[in-house]
Structure formats: structure tokens, C-alpha cells
């Protein structure tokens, strides 16, 4: 009797454990890439938000502010779905920087971000352009912000907010495209 009661209580808890394990597995497999994960989960159902009109016309002075804002975040931990200084995922990082620097409203996911702006060849990338990668599968699942000299800033699932190099074999293999959202005007002096 004691054994069957113990087995039935374990069986009753089994669906909960399976759901819990499945959720944990999905979270591990769906973060922004830095190591080898992806951001394949949508954050919301319907996309009814109004985004900033592109291209954004900004003064070149804003590009220095962009670098300052990015450098102030280096080392902040990765957090799936993160959009604040407590932690970022890749698209949350891009959204935070663009909002803080340019007061811009952009789509939330890397896949949706890849659908806006003007495509730019890798050799013509400029500071502030977005760089996109396919880490897992056939869909874009990672995004960063181009800095200079083949360097880009991004929120890596393994290292948090950090820099990567487009010449790195790993990033070269997974690079998809660059996108320009900014039109630069002369400096304000």
C-alpha cells in the first residue's frame, strides 16, 4: 500500500516536472547568440506598435554619444528578454542603445529588426549600423551594433555586453547582413 501510494504521488507530479523541464529546455535553447543559442521565441503576439521613421537623421555628434552609451554597458550580464541595465539580450541591448541615444522606437526581436532599414555590404558598414547573424538554424537570431574597424557591440549569452570582431571565424561564418538605420548630418558646432 505504501509503495503504490508513493508511486501514485510521483506520477501525479510527473506532468509538472515534464512541463518544468520543457520550459527550462526552451529557455536554454532560445536566448540570443553569443555562445551557440538563438532567439527564436517571439516576445509578443500582434505587433501593433508604431516605430521611428527611417532613416533617422542625426548629427554626427550623436555617434560619439552612441559609443559612450555602449561603453557604459560593457560587462552587464546577459538576461533572456532583458531590456534594462539589470541584463540584456541582443535585441534588448540594441533597443536600449537606440532609445537612449536617438530616442528611437524599434522592433523588439532581432528577426524583426532585420526587416527594417537599408541593407549595407559588410565592407561599407559605418558606426551605428546593425549587424545580423544566423547562429542556429535558418532564421536571423542575433544582432549587434557596428562600431569601427570590424568591431561590433552585442549582448552575448555567454559573456553579456561585449565586443565581437567580424573577422573572427565564428562571426564570419554566421554573418548575414548589415543594415543602416541612420542618415548622418554634419556636426553641430
| Active-site pick, 2, 36, 90, 139 | 90
Region for 165 from its dihedrals, namely left if φ exceeds 0, alpha if ψ lies in -120 to 50, beta otherwise? beta
Helix crossing, 61-71 with 90-102: angle to 10°?
140
Taking alpha carbons only, the member of 166, 152, 43, 53 closest to residue 108 is 43
**Grid cell listed for 47:** 505587433
24 is catalytic: no
State the Cα angle at 185 between 179 and 189, rounded to 5°: 140
Instruction: Kindly provide the residue ranges of all beta strands, DSSP E only, lying in the chain, ordered along the sequence.
Output: 56-59, 83-84, 87-88, 118-120, 130-133, 142-148, 151-156, 160-165, 175-180, 182-185
| Active-site pick, 24, 139, 154, 174 | 154
Region for 150 from its dihedrals, namely left if φ exceeds 0, alpha if ψ lies in -120 to 50, beta otherwise? left
139 is catalytic: no
154 is catalytic: yes
Residues with a catalytic annotation lie at 90, 142, 154
Amino acid at each position: 500500500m505504501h509503495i503504490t501510494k508513493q508511486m501514485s504521488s510521483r506520477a501525479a507530479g510527473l506532468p509538472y516536472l515534464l512541463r518544468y523541464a520543457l520550459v527550462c529546455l526552451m529557455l536554454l535553447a532560445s536566448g540570443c547568440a553569443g555562445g551557440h543559442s538563438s532567439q527564436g521565441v517571439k516576445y509578443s503576439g500582434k505587433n501593433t506598435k508604431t516605430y521611428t521613421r527611417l532613416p533617422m537623421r542625426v548629427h554626427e555628434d550623436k555617434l560619439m554619444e552612441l559609443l559612450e552609451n555602449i561603453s557604459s554597458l560593457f560587462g552587464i550580464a546577459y538576461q533572456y528578454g532583458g531590456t534594462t541595465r539589470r541584463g540584456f539580450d541582443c535585441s534588448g541591448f540594441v533597443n536600449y542603445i537606440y532609445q537612449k541615444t536617438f530616442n528611437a522606437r524599434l522592433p523588439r526581436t532581432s528577426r524583426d529588426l532585420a526587416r527594417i532599414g537599408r541593407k549595407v555590404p559588410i565592407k561599407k558598414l559605418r558606426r551605428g549600423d546593425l549587424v545580423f547573424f544566423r547562429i542556429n538554424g535558418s532564421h536571423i537570431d542575433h544582432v549587434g551594433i557596428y562600431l569601427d574597424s570590424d568591431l561590433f557591440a552585442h549582448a552575448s549569452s555567454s559573456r553579456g555586453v561585449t565586443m565581437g570582431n567580424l573577422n573572427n571565424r565564428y562571426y564570419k561564418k554566421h554573418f548575414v547582413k548589415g543594415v543602416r538605420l541612420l542618415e548622418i548630418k554634419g556636426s553641430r558646432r
